[in-house]
Homo-oligomer: A and B are copies of this chain.
Amino acid sequence: MSAFDALMTFERETRALEQVAGRLGWDQETMMPPGAKDQRAEEMGAMQAVIHARRTDPRLADWLAAAEAEDEVGQAQLRHMRRDHARATRVPVALAVQLARVTSTAQGIWAAARKDDDFSAFAPVLETVLALKREQAAALAEGGDLYDALLEDYEPQTSAREIEAIFTAMRPRLVALRERALAHPPRAGLSGVFDEQAQLHLAGQLAQRFGYDLARGRLDKAVHPFSSGSGDDVRITTRTAVDDPFNCLYSTIHEVGHACYEQNIDPAYRMTPLGQGVSMGVHESQSRIYENQLGRSRAFCGWLHGQMEASFGDMGLGGAEAFYRVVNRLHNGFIRTEADEVQYNLHIMLRFDLERALISGDLLVGDLEAAWNDRFAADFGVTVARPSDGVLQDVHWSVGLFGYFPTYALGNVYAGCLHAALRRALPDLDAHLAEGDLRPATEWLRETVQVHGGLYPPREMIARASGATPDAEPLMSYLEEKFGALYPDG
């Protein structure tokens, strides 16, 4: 057997084990009996130990040194495996173990601090997490930029400087758009009681319309919506609230975007490094374009309005145009996960700037709460009164996810690029959307993006699909046009 074949055989088995570990995570959120919590931690620990041992197996270095690939696909496989191996072996085992232990504790401390609205209770453990992440980043960076070294886990081959350039161009235009919209009188959301079974039924229908293959997936309820798994077993969850059907429906469409990306990757790449979405940013571009550019479009909202009336009866909105305005209303809020298409990006930029400063050492944990509140007041014009509405709202930093936040907004930027190209490719897209027919759009995304899996680096992937180096302009034009019309001047 050649070194390349030995490598691929070993890799397939490791990835199969990773799928099993992922499914265990799905089970934990959907099916696991509550009393199994401690036992599950032990089971998951055993799986992670096995996977970690394989990712740092001494044979890998020899195989990687000797392996040769004949074609573009093989070369891409090798590129991924060399990168993953380098990252897995650069971090000392003792540091990896310590990080796992500390972040596991820190998450509980964060949850308690958020509940008590007390940042000072979280700050000491956050300092410890941050120190360990800086150490990890230094080991990974080998002299390069610390933040970039962490970012590489979520958005490979993309630098913070490139992201900064994109975000810097967006921020003043987003602030201006926000101010203009919120100068209007507040618009009401939906009111009423919406049967939760009917919500789930409609969510299931929407999932299929957006291309989700239920023969290779399933839709369950969970506390948080998520998508899990690759290939032929990609499961999603949603949630229901009796007074807010949009939460269920749009979180389902969002997760369907993630799930379709995984389901539609070339079957030849299954259980290989190319067999999963290439980055968090590209992943988020799929979930966002499904949810926003398609799901919240005027044309699709017209169709969805009819479906919702059929499911829930008259919603008292007085027609599809009013429905579209409710779906896309802007409103003040402190919480990232509840933010609209415009303000969401501002929430991310705030976190991106703060976490870069934390990693570089320019910002101390002791000054983080004040820095957050100052920045929030500057961009959102509102004062944060409680840390649970501010610096304590997200779990990410407690579990060591530094470098993850920017991929959310990068996903929006990529979705903007893809949407512009999609509109050029399908001039009659709105006619399809108005009939609830998503196939032309999702088929285009499947062919141009999803099928390729990890074949191309993220920015190259978007450039190939959209025909241009990704930048903020398509997203900003789209947002300014859409929300400019929804919230006209004067």
- Chain A residues engaging chain B, CB cutoff 8 angstroms: 12-14, 16-17, 19-20, 23-24, 27, 31-40, 42-43, 45-47, 49-50, 213-218, 231-233, 235, 270-271
Contact = CB atoms under 8 A, between A and B. Distances in A.
Copies assembled: 2
A213 B24 contact: no
Contacts of A215: 33-35
B39 A19 contact: yes
Given A19-B43, A50-B50, A33 B216 contact: yes
A478 to B, nearest CB: 35
Nearest to A12: B42
Given A19-B43, A43-B16, A38 B232 contact: yes
A13 B233 contact: no
Given A12-B42, A20-B43, A42-B12, A213 B50 contact: no
A268 to B, nearest CB: 14
Contacts of A24: 20, 23
A49 B270 contact: no
Interchain residue pairs A-B with the least CB separation, the first 3: A16-B46, A36-B233, A35-B216
B232 A49 contact: no
A214 B34 CA distance: 9
A12 B23 CA distance: 21
Nearest to A217: B33
Contacts of A231: 39
12 contacts: A13-B49, A17-B43, A19-B43, A20-B20, A20-B43, A31-B31, A33-B215, A33-B216, A33-B218, A35-B215, A35-B216, A50-B50
A207 to B, nearest CB: 13
Contacts of A35: 213, 215-216, 232-233
B38 A218 contact: no
Given A232-B39, A233-B40, A46 B31 contact: no
Contacts of A20: 20, 24, 43, 46-47
A217 B39 CA distance: 12
Contacts of A232: 33, 35-39
A305 B42 CA distance: 43
A213 B27 CA distance: 19
A23 to B, nearest CB: 7
Nearest to A263: B35
Contacts of A217: 33
Given A34-B215, A38-B232, 8 more contacts: A17-B43, A17-B46, A20-B24, A23-B43, A31-B31, A33-B233, A35-B216, A36-B232
A270 B34 contact: no
A24 B46 CA distance: 15
Nearest to A220: B31
A235 B35 CA distance: 12
A36 B271 contact: no
Given A42-B271, A45-B16, A50-B17, A23 B27 contact: yes
A214 B33 contact: yes
A272 to B, nearest CB: 12
Contact of A32 (B39, B42, B46, B233): B233
Contacts of A50: 17, 50
